[in-house]
Amino acid sequence: PCVIGQFEFLQTLDLADNKLQGELKGLHFEKLKYLKWFDISGNTITKIQNDTFSNILFTNVFFDFSYNPIVELPSNFVSQLSL
C-alpha cells in the first residue's frame, strides 16, 4: 500500500472488497492531495489514523467506508465532512 501514496495526481482509488484489515495510516496516502473518489467498502478496517487524509483537498471528495467495522475516525476528517 505504501506505493499508492506515490501517485500524487491519482483521482480515483477503489480498494473495495480487497480483504484489507486493521488501520489505515497516513503514510499510505500522504501524497494523494487530488483524490476525488476513495472506496474501501467491504473490508475489515477498524481505525483510520489522524494523519491518514491530512494532505487531501476535501473539496468534492467521495469516501465510501461502508461495510467496515470502523470504531474510530480521525477528528480532523470528521470536521471536514458536510453531512
pLDDT tens figures, 18-73: 999 999 887 778 788 888 899 999 999 999 887 777 777 666 788 899 999 999 88
pLDDT in the model for residue 21: 93
pLDDT tops 70 at residue 2 = no
Residue 78 CB neighbours (<10 A): 9
Q: What is the pLDDT of residue 52?
A: 79
Assess whether pLDDT exceeds 80 at residue 81. no
Element (H, E) at 2: none
pLDDT in tens, 42-52: 999 999 887 77
- Sign of the C-alpha dihedral, residues 11, 53, 73, 59? negative
